[in-house]
Chain A
Amino acid sequence: KNQVEQSPQSLIILEGKNCTLQCNYTVSPFSNLRWYKQDTGRGPVSLTIMTFSENTKSNGRYTATLDADTKQSSLHITASQLSDSASYICVVVGGSGTYKYIFGTGTRLKVLA
């Protein structure tokens, strides 16, 4: 069964600290993996897109990694800011037939001053 699991479910950190969010998937065949940031009550916004051959991709203070062999990805946030408080959703694109988006349930991050 195609699944995307994220951990932790929620996380609280102090402003300025780093954190790492995890994503494990069982989607096959695999096309690409995406990380989205979703502010409360708003639509998800794309952070990174990683294909099979990419191990690391950065977008400002966000760095995503992908290990296609173990089917794991992580999103590392450096020097967190209050504005990083949001849900972070891992999405794996793949599955049989047309490109199907399989969404994780997200990690809810709260950054405290």
Chain B
Amino acid sequence: EAQVTQNPRYLITVTGKKLTVTCSQNMNHEYMSWYRQDPGLGLRQIYYSMNVEVTDKGDVPEGYKVSRKEKRNFPLILESPSPNQTSLYFCASRKAGTGITFFGQGTRLTVV
């Protein structure tokens, strides 16, 4: 089954404790991205990757890092999480061009 898999689905952590949210897709998509979704706001792009070893900042990259060492994986790294990073995070992937974008199930992160 074609899918984007994120882990974990739920995470509560403390300020400053490094964490990684994993994202994997099995559709051989070139393009992957991370979004955060906050109440009253549309999804906002954090980082995206056009292909392996190619990453770029989205609209709200501060406080986040990503890597794309393999085509299927695109982890999101929070080196020093802060409470304002409490949010619902989505990973997404699609083929290069304007194909359908597939979203993961989401990771609800709470930073206390």
Contact = CB atoms under 8 A, between A and B. Distances in A.
Contact of B45 (A31, A42, A101, A106): A101
A4 B103 contact: no
Interface of B: 4, 40-45, 50, 88, 90, 92, 97-98, 100-106, 108
Contact of B103 (A44, A104, A106): A44
Interface of A: 4, 31-32, 34, 41-46, 49, 89, 93, 98-99, 101-106
Contacts of B103: 43-45
A31 to B, nearest CB: 6
B39 to A, nearest CB: 9
Nearest to B90: A43
B101 A41 contact: no
Nearest to B58: A100
A42 B9 CA distance: 10
Nearest to B92: A43
A44 B103 CA distance: 6
A42 B44 CA distance: 16
Nearest to A41: B106
Contact of A41 (B42, B43, B98, B108): B108
Contact of A93 (B40, B44, B98): B98
A31 B98 CA distance: 9
Task: Please name the 10 residue pairs, one residue from A and one from B, whose CB atoms are nearest each other, closest first.
Answer: A43-B103, A103-B42, A103-B43, A105-B42, A46-B100, A44-B103, A43-B105, A43-B104, A43-B106, A43-B90
A86 B18 CA distance: 33
A89 B42 CA distance: 8
Nearest to B105: A43
B105 A99 contact: no
